[in-house]
Chain A
């Protein structure tokens, strides 16, 4: 993987040398680290003249776990006035950015949110979601709409500080967006209320926050990182767990390999459902809400059977 990214980076260096950077102007350029930050920032900065929001990583990239900064990102950052990140160790490349762009204003949307400890903590990983103390965190907070609102608040506050000229517009946008998310929260709550206490098995820790928010219980979590084979015993134990608890649904995310899930499904007769961790999409204003509504619908469908 690392080797591959190195190759890609080398290629992109070539490309970057060939294509001259876009001309700079006086516009306010907000760069976001990945998809959910992009959607949040777009909503907060919506309709303000002279303010553009650019997403750094390609929008097809999933969570940034394995992401290596590409030369293209460096070019994007060159023009940035503000960088919005999720924090909690999601952006593992932040130290590199701090080195190269010490002056850049960084808004950490997840600041002040009490993040859960990562399921990774027990394992040894060479690349870690770690905070200063070296403890690993689960940074997927945006999947709880209440915490998403907190992130939007932080983004708005940061932008107002960085660009006081448009303070009123940011504030108004953020309030309107947070109201929409609050409505979404209520909607999902009503939809999933009958299923409180249901046990779920997921293959990536992203949905732990969602589960906590709506009273679902994560009974099992098989962390099946890209390029990692699950332990034979882990697989066997999860099969036992699924049978024991009578779990009928396994939840996977499209960005990750699904072999382990389908093996368990074949073994136990459980069905596999796909969830959207909102790390990629069309980038429309309402894409977060649409994706979360769809997730809620998938859960309801899985439990309703």
Chain B
């Protein structure tokens, strides 16, 4: 770890890099943003923006359940609940005639209300409210390791899933004729999103996590000309916006997460005029 810090000291001789927490935050951004840039493309293509939002909200219930069950590490509770919740939403979506946005909204509001009811018993909510905004500046070295593992696992799954998902999202019957199990692919993808969201929600926060997933992909879609370029650009945009946001938050003295999302939003609006009809 000290090797990495040493390299950063040499390569980034800026005032703000003197602080350990800024180094850690930068590393976290380098790990989280490509992940989200990658998954975001598919979430945008498959009209799942609202779905990932619902997943973010379910983190609150996950924590609440962890607290109720007396689990020492709420991370595990969040992760398990997030995965189950994602599978459940997808399942109900497939087996109900109601439109997807209604179903997702039902799940989203249920989970946030349940989380609030449990966590605010006795007014103790203030203690957990930090998960609503998150704080990338409080990332520790152990957290970075966990993020690194998540990135590697997700990227590996992504490589396996990319083609089947792509074909499914373009043409479901074509996918079936190729022997691709569309449902299974979709479940795998939702689980992947759930894991990524839960692993990074403590640093990004319930309220902002979805923007990190959707905005870079949306911006990239404005200008990209083909599928591969679309994804590469999305990863690039989220990386650049993440770093820019962090640095800006230092000079403007704002919270880091919000600054990053604002830069992502700016990227979207800047690319909007270039959108091809």
Question: Is the C-beta of A248 less than 8 angstroms from some C-beta in chain B?
Answer: no
Q: Is B125 a contact partner of A4 (Cβ separation < 8 A)?
A: yes
Question: Is the C-beta of A255 less than 8 angstroms from some C-beta in chain B?
Answer: yes
Q: Which partner residue on chain B sits nearest A70 by CB separation?
A: B123
Q: How large is the interface on A (under 10, 10 to 19, 20 to 34, 35 or more residues)?
A: 35 or more
Per the bound structure, the CA–CA distance linking A240 and B175 in Å amounts to: 58
Please, which residues of chain B bring their CB within 8 A of the CB of A271? none
Binary contact readout A1-16 vs B (1 if CB under 8 angstroms, 0 otherwise): 1001101100100000
Q: Is A257 a contact partner of B127 (Cβ separation < 8 A)?
A: yes
Per the bound structure, the CA–CA distance linking A59 and B259 in Å amounts to: 37
Cross-chain contact of B116 among A4, A262, A266 (Cβ < 8 A):
A4
Question: Is the C-beta of B145 less than 8 angstroms from some C-beta in chain A?
Answer: no
B71 CB, nearest partner CB in chain A, Å: 19
B48 CB, nearest partner CB in chain A, Å: 24
Q: Is B129 a contact partner of A57 (Cβ separation < 8 A)?
A: no
Dominant SS among interface residues on chain B: helix
Please, which residues of chain A bring their CB within 8 A of the CB of B129? 1, 226-227, 257
> Which parts of B72-126 form the interface with A (CB within 8 Å)?
113, 116-117, 120, 122-126
Question: Is the C-beta of A228 less than 8 angstroms from some C-beta in chain B?
Answer: yes
Per the bound structure, the CA–CA distance linking A255 and B246 in Å amounts to: 28
Please, which residues of chain B bring their CB within 8 A of the CB of A198? none
Given A232-B256, A263-B138: A61 and B122 interface contact (C-beta under 8 Å) = yes
Please, which residues of chain A bring their CB within 8 A of the CB of B16? 232, 236
Question: Is the C-beta of A174 less than 8 angstroms from some C-beta in chain B?
Answer: no
Which interface residue of A57, A226, A229, A259 has the most chain B CB atoms within 10 A? A229
Given A11-B117, A234-B253, A266-B140: A229 and B126 interface contact (C-beta under 8 Å) = no
Q: Is A231 a contact partner of B254 (Cβ separation < 8 A)?
A: yes
Question: Is the C-beta of B39 less than 8 angstroms from some C-beta in chain A?
Answer: no
Q: Is B122 a contact partner of A263 (Cβ separation < 8 A)?
A: no
> Which parts of B242-268 form the interface with A (CB within 8 Å)?
246, 249-259
Per the bound structure, the CA–CA distance linking A263 and B141 in Å amounts to: 12
Interface stretch among B18-26, B30-38, B151-159, B215-223? Answer: B18-26
Q: Is B120 a contact partner of A229 (Cβ separation < 8 A)?
A: no
Question: Is the C-beta of A195 less than 8 angstroms from some C-beta in chain B?
Answer: no
Given A4-B116, A236-B250: A229 and B257 interface contact (C-beta under 8 Å) = yes
Please, which residues of chain A bring their CB within 8 A of the CB of B20? 266-267
Binary contact readout B133-144 vs A (1 if CB under 8 angstroms, 0 otherwise): 111011010000
**B residues whose Cβ falls under 8 Å from a Cβ of A:** 16, 19-22, 113, 116-117, 120, 122-127, 129-130, 132-135, 137-138, 140, 205, 246, 249-259
Known interface pairs A230-B137, A235-B19; 14 further A-B residue pairs with C-beta atoms within 8 A, sorted by A's residue number: A8-B116, A8-B117, A11-B117, A58-B122, A58-B123, A61-B124, A226-B129, A226-B130, A227-B132, A230-B135, A239-B21, A255-B127, A256-B127, A266-B20
